[in-house]
Structure 1
Amino acid sequence: MRTVVFDLDGTIADTSADLLAAANVCFRGLGHGDLLGPEDALTAFHGGRAMLRLGFSRLGAVDDAMIDAQYPVLLDAYGQAIAVHTRLYPGVVEAVETLRRDGFAVSICTNKPEGLAEELCLRLGIRGLFGALIGADTLPTRKPDAAPYVAAVRQAGGNVARSMLIGDTETDRMTGRAAGVPVALVTFGPEGRGVERLQPEALLDHFDDLPELAARFLV
């Protein structure tokens, strides 16, 4: 079965504001105030440790031990306020529903911890649209390793040889290369058309264009 695998943060939904807020809980707890703002949305899509590293770098030298200590605090804060400001990108639900009607399997492969990804998708009302969800801790490895992607395809009932990945970062581009599948990177995230530098097989300007794009790549 033809399969379209989606990244979550920065691809299906703009989660940056809630992620940044969780990181700032850590910094406030240490007496530093808010160290991250909306201009740091791109870093948010690279994960909790990246946000902590950026914030601490604004105070001087980065202490890896401090990042390790604050990461669980960040996850707890994020879990308590996971969908306050998060919004689905326009057209994603309609595109996924169209793909399903056209006979595609659809799944999610994310570097967000599986439990948080499941909770977020439930809160957004989209979990039932996807045949599988693979998170950062579902398997021993995470993207850009190919194994999580392969699991996302197979658990949805698909065939890796007839699959593609929709993402937004270099991690997704590298995952596609590792799995030997085409990648479409969205241009409506914080980097905009800057993702063109990663030379994906396709750019996706709006989810309205996804069904035709998937049909073209997955014959």
Structure 2
Amino acid sequence: MNCRQPELIIFDFDGTLADTLADIAGAVNSILASYGLPVFEIDRYRLMVGNGFSALVAAVLPHERARDQVFKDEFQRLALQEYERRCLDRTKPYPGMREALSTLAGRGIRLAILSNKPDHLLKYMAAALFPDIPFVAVWGNANSRPRKPDPAAALEICRQNDIAPEDTALVGDSGVDMQTARAAGMIPVGVLYGYRDRQELAGAGAEFLVQTPLEIPALFGIG
């Protein structure tokens, strides 16, 4: 089933545009190990990413450590520092993603990124991985705007580009992304190649699901 062609597509980053899991897991596990705390298999991180770095830290720390705000803040600082150091070691765009983005941009569709990843890190990684893609916005988690699933940032991207939410698609791999799209009145498109499953995406309101990056332009009738 095809969807009408939007004027703007807002993409999530981790698990949607790029596979970042190994570097996130490696960085956080490194700091866990330095404190003698249990580490996690990479696959466990699939359910822990997507809500911002502070939520990730809260998820990996033992309960008694997570309640210690001083320790939690220091752990987060060190983990983020370690992730900044290695964030592009193993991270790559999903196969076909650069081609899909180029195809969409070539048809005049405006493209943006909205992530709960720290803003400075998102901008650095997006520029490194997608240097030729003319994103109209690359927005991560910053103090000046609320995190997804709050729709405010997605709606502001629409406003700045003079595009109605109903003419915008939001593409992501998690329930948080689908909730954001629904709350903003946008077309919710879930990707099945990312970190969450069909059940989560459908349960959160995905209207369309794609198996690969190259199915994204095809969904909108673009070959």
In the superposition, the TM-score normalised over structure 1's length comes to 0.87
SS in structure 2 at match of 1:203:
strand
- What pairs up with 1:102-121 in 2 under 5 angstroms? 102-121=107-126
Preserved CA contact (<8 Å) 2:179 2:204: no
- Measured after TM superposition, the shift of residue 215 of structure 1 is 4.7
Q: Which of 140, 143, 153 in structure 1 is aligned with 2:145?
A: 140
Gaps of 5+ in 2: 1-5
Count of aligned residue pairs for this structure pair: 214
Asked if 1:206 is matched to 2:216, the reply is no
| Preserved contact between residue 7 and residue 172 of structure 1 (Cα < 8 Å) | yes
Q: CA deviation at 1:90?
A: 1.4
Give the C-alpha shift of residue 132 in structure 1: 1.1
Give the letter aligned to residue 40 of structure 1.
R
Q: Identity over the aligned pairs, expressed in percent?
A: 28
Deviation at 1:177, TM superposition (A): 1.6
| Aligned residue number for residue 51 of structure 1 | 56
TM-score by length of 2: 0.85
| Contact 1:3 1:104 (8 Å CA) reproduced | yes
> 1:36 is matched with which residue?
40
Deviates more, 1:148-157 or 1:66-75: 148-157
Partners of 1:98 and 1:152 in 2: CA distance: 21
The aligned counterpart of 2:11 is: 6
Cα distance per residue 1:43-101 (max 9 Å; x no partner): 234443343233323x7674251323311222111111111111111111111111111
**CA distance in structure 2 between the partners assigned to 1:99 and 1:157 by the alignment:** 19
1:196 aligns with 2:199: no
Distance (whole Å) between structure 1 residues aligned to residue 157 and residue 23 of structure 2: 25
What is the one-letter code of the residue matched to 1:142? R
Q: How far apart, CA to CA, are the structure 1 residues paired with 2:124 and 2:162?
A: 23
Does structure 2 retain, via aligned residues, the 8 Å contact 1:184–1:200?
Answer: yes
User: Which amino acid counterpart does residue 198 of structure 1 have in structure 2?
Assistant: A
Unaligned runs of 5+ in 1: none
Deviation at 1:203, TM superposition (A): 0.5
Change (3 A) 1:47 1:40: farther
Name which of 161, 165, 173 aligns with 1:160. 165
Q: How far apart, in 1, do the equivalents of 2:190 and 2:26 lie? A: 26
- Of Structure 1 and Structure 2, the greater helix share is in 1
Query: Could you tell me how far apart the structure 2 residues matched to 1:45 and 1:144 are?
Result: 10
* 2:127 alignment counterpart: 122
CA RMSD of aligned residues (A): 2.3
Work out whether residues 107 and 156 of structure 1, in 8 Å CA contact, stay in contact via their aligned partners in 2. no
Q: Deviations over 1:119-169 (max 9, x none)?
A: 111221346431211111063312111111122334456432310100011
